Every structure is written in structure tokens, then in C-alpha cells.
Amino acid sequence: MTLEALGNALDLKEAKTGGHARRVCLFTIAISQALGLAGEKIAVIARGAFLHDIGKMAIPDSILRKPGMLTPEETAVMQQHPYQGYQTLEKIPFLAEAAEIVYAHHEFYDGTGYPRGLKGEQIPLGARITAVANTLDSITADLPYRPARSLKAARAEIEKWSGRQFDPEIVKVFLEMPDNTWEDLRREVDRNSAR
């Protein structure tokens, strides 16, 4: 119930990207299953994926909903959301592991991400999977500053950044998964959101 309430609160704040948390969660679960992870590990990763953007609750709407490019100052504020999310969740016992995923979901495999500049396996596995799922949804969804792009474009972008932004092993598994996986999961979220 706590998870649902937190996710719904974020969806209300980010009306333009409604369903993002649920899609990223389902995409992350699908990739985790394809990687052959155990059910209890997937449950922890799913919680982190669902709440990955919870720190955006602390970001001013003027930045979060801005239709154009962010200024360097606004970007610096936006880049605080992983840490803000971590601070929100770390003291909730059943979300402590998920908080680590939230904290690291914008770290890059090559160490050039934020907020801590973690590299490779320093980044929790759940965060590395969530990063791929988050990018997939961000590219294929309408955003305040640009319209949705195709699944083909998303696959190409994720492949291009393999080994730099993304864990190459996770990208390999992602690219082997059929297109209808993502389309079916997106439809499922859309159906549930319409209720």
C-alpha cells in the first residue's frame, strides 16, 4: 500500500508522464526475468524501479514541467532527485535495498553518471537494469520537451550507449527480447490507468 501511495503521488505531480513509474517497473521486471534472477531479488528490484523517480517530489514544478531545455542551474537541481529519493526511502526498513537502486539509477556504467560517479559493478544490479528500462520508457513516451520516438529508435539508442551509459550484459539481454514484450506491457499499464 505504501508503494502504491508513493507511486500515485508522483504520477499526480508528473501528470505529463503518467504511468512512467509502472512502465519502468514492468520493463525492469521483464529484463530481470530474462536475466534469470530469483523471484525475491526481482521483488526488491521492482520496488526500486517503481520508486526510481520519487525524489522528483522535491523538485520544483517549474523545472519538472518545463517544456524546453533546462539551464545548467536547473539541471543541477534536477540531478539531486536520486539523492532526494534515497533520503526519502532509506529509513523505511522494507525499502532500504530499493533506496540504493533509487540513488544509483542515473549512474553510468563508465563512471560518468550522477550523483556519485559510480562505475561498473559499483552500481547496484537493480539500478543498472532500471537505467535501461527508464531510458526505454523515456524515449518511447511523450515528454514535456519532445514527442515519443519509436521502439526501434529506443533500441538503437540503448545499443549505442552500451558500455558507456549501460551495462553491456544487460543491453545484450534487452536487445534479444521481442518487441511485443514492451508493447504488451505498455498496453497493460494504459489499461490499468484508464480504470
Of the ranges 2-6, 57-61, 173-177, which is most confident? 173-177
At 143, is the pLDDT very low, low, confident or very high (cuts 50, 70, 90)?
confident
Per the domain annotation, does 150 fall within a domain? Answer: yes
Model confidence pLDDT, tens digit, residues 10-19: 666 655 556 8
Per the domain annotation, does 195 fall within a domain? Answer: no
User: What is the per-residue pLDDT for 75?
Assistant: 95
For cell 520537451, name the residue: 145
| Residue range 106-122: mean pLDDT, rounded | 98
Total tally of structural domains belonging to the chain: 1
Q: To the nearest 10°, the Cα dihedral for 101, 104, 106, 109?
A: -110
Residue 124's CATH number: 1.10.3210.10
Q: Residue 1 pLDDT more than 60? A: no
CA–CA gap between residue 105 and residue 83 (Å, rounded): 10
What is the pLDDT of the chain when averaged over all its residues? 91
Model confidence pLDDT, tens digit, residues 160-182: 999 999 999 999 999 999 999 99
At 147, is the pLDDT very low, low, confident or very high (cuts 50, 70, 90)?
confident
b/e map 23-40, b = 16+ CB within 10 Å: bbbbbbbbbbeebebeee
For cell 540531478, name the residue: 79
Model confidence pLDDT, tens digit, residues 148-158: 999 999 999 99
Domain ranges, residue 146: 2-190
pTM score, whole prediction? 0.92
